[in-house]
């Protein structure tokens, strides 16, 4: 494990480390990131000392097409650790945000390193808003914002890592069923009418399932559509 008081991005560091042979389970934690990254090239910003920011190097023996399951696994572990340590009613917005009361508490940026067609490593980068008191958008919140109390970041880190370990072992043994059942049970997305944007394409439909590769299944006017990645909007965000 490496701890950095200040770093550009834990994902960037973990990628460099993985390329130079970091063992599975190598962990990069930071108190502050100057260039934290989110999905779709967005910035991920958190004041120093407020958020839980880390990246885990995994070397799953799965096909690249199944790498999305690693991000689902991370979100599921975050959701459970937050729910159990705070009592908050947290849900998973497909593919891997954790929401409480419709606001974002955590995001996952899972990046695959490929060697030809082989998945060499997956960097699971996780940000959890723990003790932030201000937010750039009213769609985000923190444990402090929801409970009015500071929460110990490293206790939460330990719980998330334990949860990831347990789910990763099951997945590595070929058992993805429990993970998918959990993601369906605690989904903020299933059963909703959504707009899914991926690159330049936009699909509208009802989110009806998460399939065994972690894809979101949408029931659309043109039949069932399966999406491996993208951004989902619901309700008033759809406009
Ligand atoms: C998202 O919701 O768009 C994903 C956000 C992921 C942020 C985390 S913070 C730790 C790790 N390092 C990064 O640069 N990004 C991830």
Strands (E), 40-169: 52-58, 90-93, 97-100, 103-115, 118-128
Q: 179 pLDDT band (50/70/90 cuts)?
A: very high
Measure Cα distances from 2 to 22, 27, 33 in Å. Answer: 11, 6, 14
Average pLDDT value over all residues in the chain:
95
Q: Say how many Å lie between the first and final Cα of the chain, rounded.
A: 44
**Phi/psi of residue 238, each to 5°?**
-70, -25
Q: Answer yes or no: is pLDDT of 142 > 90.
A: yes
Quote the pLDDT of residue 196.
Answer: 97
Alpha carbons 174 and 159: distance in angstroms, whole number: 23
| The CATH fold of domain 193-238 | SH3 type barrels. (2.30.30)
Rounded to the nearest 10°, the torsion over CA 27, 29, 33, 37 is: 40
Q: What percent of the chain has pLDDT over 70?
A: 98
Residue 174: burial class (beta carbons within 10 Å; 0-12, 13-18, 19+): exposed
Q: What's the whole-number mean pLDDT along residues 91-104?
A: 97
Q: What's the whole-number mean pLDDT along residues 104-108?
A: 98
Q: What's the whole-number mean pLDDT along residues 12-37?
A: 98
Quote the pLDDT of residue 236.
Answer: 63
Q: Where in the chain is the domain with CATH 3.30.930.10?
A: 2-185
DSSP per-residue letters across 28-56: EEES-BSS-B-GGG-B----TTTSEEEEE
User: How far does residue 37's CA lie from ligand 1's centre (Å)?
Assistant: 5
**DSSP class of 211:** -
Task: Tell me if 205 CB under 6 Å of ligand 1.
Answer: no
Q: Answer yes or no: is pLDDT of 187 > 70.
A: yes
Quote the pLDDT of residue 186.
Answer: 98
User: How far does residue 33's CA lie from ligand 1's centre (Å)?
Assistant: 10
Q: Please tell me whether residue 200 adopts helix, strand or coil conformation.
A: coil
Residue nearest to atom 11 of ligand 1 (CA): 125
Q: Answer yes or no: is pLDDT of 239 > 70.
A: no
Q: Where in the chain is the domain with CATH 2.30.30.100?
A: 193-238
Q: What's the whole-number mean pLDDT along residues 93-120?
A: 95
Task: Tell me if 10 CB under 6 Å of ligand 1.
Answer: yes
Q: 64 pLDDT band (50/70/90 cuts)?
A: confident
* CATH number 1.10.600.10 is the correct assignment for the domain at 2-185: no
**Phi/psi of residue 120, each to 5°?**
-80, -40
Q: Are 145 and 132 in contact (CB under 8 A)?
A: yes
Q: Answer yes or no: is pLDDT of 238 > 90.
A: no
Which of 3, 107, 132, 153 is the best mutation target for the ligand 1 pocket, counting ligand atoms within 8 Å of the beta carbon and taking the most?
A: 107
Residue written as token pair 């939460």: 156
User: How far does residue 220's CA lie from ligand 1's centre (Å)?
Assistant: 31
Task: Tell me if 9 CB under 6 Å of ligand 1.
Answer: yes
Q: 63 pLDDT band (50/70/90 cuts)?
A: confident
Q: What's the whole-number mean pLDDT along residues 35-53?
A: 96
Predicted structure pTM score = 0.96
Q: Answer yes or no: is pLDDT of 181 > 90.
A: yes
Q: Answer yes or no: is pLDDT of 199 > 70.
A: yes
Q: What's the whole-number mean pLDDT along residues 182-191?
A: 97
Measure Cα distances from 99 to 36, 88, 176 in Å. Answer: 20, 10, 23
Quote the pLDDT of residue 136.
Answer: 85
Residues 6+ apart with CB under 8 A from 122: 58, 59, 60, 67, 70, 110, 111, 112, 113
Task: Tell me if 76 CB under 6 Å of ligand 1.
Answer: no
Quote the pLDDT of residue 66.
Answer: 86
Ligand 1 atom at minimum distance from 30 CA:
10
Task: Tell me if 36 CB under 6 Å of ligand 1.
Answer: yes
């Amino acid at each position: 494990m490496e701890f950095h008081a200040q770093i550009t991005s834990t994902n960037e560091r973990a990628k460099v480390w993985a390329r130079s042979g970091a063992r599975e389970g190598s962990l990069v934690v930071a108190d502050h990131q100057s260039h934290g990254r989110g999905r779709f090239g967005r910035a991920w910003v958190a004041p120093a000392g407020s958020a839980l920011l880390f990246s885990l190097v995994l070397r799953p023996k799965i096909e690249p097409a199944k790498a999305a399951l690693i991000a689902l696994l991370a979100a599921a572990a975050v959701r459970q650790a937050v729910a159990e340590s705070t009592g908050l009613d947290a849900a998973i917005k497909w593919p891997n945000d954790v929401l409480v009361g419709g606001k974002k508490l955590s995001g996952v940026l899972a990046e695959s390193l490929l060697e030809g067609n082989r998945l060499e490593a997956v960097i699971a980068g996780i940000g959890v808003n723990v003790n932030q008191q201000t937010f750039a958008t009213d769609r985000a919140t923190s444990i402090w914002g929801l409970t009015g109390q500071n929460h110990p970041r490293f206790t939460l880190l330990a719980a998330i890592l334990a949860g990831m370990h347990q789910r990763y072992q099951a997945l590595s043994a070929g058992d993805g069923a429990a993970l998918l059942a959990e993601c369906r049970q605690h989904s903020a997305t299933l059963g909703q009418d959504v707009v899914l944007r991926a690159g330049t394409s936009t699909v509208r439909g009802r989110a009806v399932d998460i399939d065994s590769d972690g894809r979101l299944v949408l029931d659309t006017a043109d039949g069932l559509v399966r999406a491996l990645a993208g951004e989902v909007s619901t309700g008033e965000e759809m406009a």
